[in-house]
Chain A
Amino acid sequence: MASKPGASQTQAPNADGKFSISEDWLAFAVGLILLALCLTGIIPEGLLP
């Protein structure tokens, strides 16, 4: 397998996992907030195209 010049040093992508987890929480929060807005009628039928 070819490797990029200068890329032979192992770089652990820990930051990837950390960001992915926070993006996970963001999806969790945004999804449930939007659902709450729908169920309370704040986002009414017909608002979305």
Chain B
Amino acid sequence: MNMKFIVCVKQVPDTTEVKIDPETNTLIREGVPSVLNPFDQFALEEAIKIRQEGDEIIAISMGPPQAKKALLKCLALGADKAILLTDKVFAGADTWATSYTLVQCIKKIGAFSMIFCGLQAIDGDTAQVGPEIAAQLGIPQITYVESVEKLEGKKLTAKVQTDDGYKIVEVKLPVLITGITPSSFEPTNPPMINIMKANKKPFSTWDAEELGGNKHDYGLNGSLTEVIKVYSPPVRQQGVIIEEETAEASVQKLIELLSKDKVI
């Protein structure tokens, strides 16, 4: 049975240290090149890894027209189709409204086997969109997936990271997974030949009208949260590591330091 995999991706600024405009509370994107969210690339490469002949991978993204670049990279990496959801109505969406938009797209695509999402986007770091898509679609989800171990018939086996190790989870399809990129992951640089073919693969641009749904649920109107203030957290002072020769000496040193700071 051929499967359809949907991969949700986002275009983000190429930095993990996005600066914030203190007056507008928005991210300063000027001068920062945009890239495919690295966590999403891992999700896409997991989908490619398990794809078998006849399966189809569709990359979808909500964003401005420039987000086409991120989707083209997905096509160059191995996705078969890409859909860009772009409309002024989508502007100002929080994670819920973003999920709603992506869900409308997924419903329009039709039956699917799996949805792949990255852990989070490196600009907002919310890690909400994947789980919210699963909630809105009413399908099971597995988060913190380190790797897809096996896909047999309608059963998926995944290796899931936990606080103190990992566990193996089995689930029936359809399912949504969010990946957690292992440190061993080396993102693929798309080869030239695939880059040249990317623009020849099917690419669609859908707006709100095309998606249908309730217009009030898109963008700022459909957002359940309101951003009051965005700020960079203050830089923490470096901690002190006590490395005396014996445990007793370390305790003595700790007491000295705490006494000096009048903690005890």
Please indicate whether A and B come from the same complex rather than being unrelated chains: no
Question: A residues near B, CB below 8 A?
Answer: none
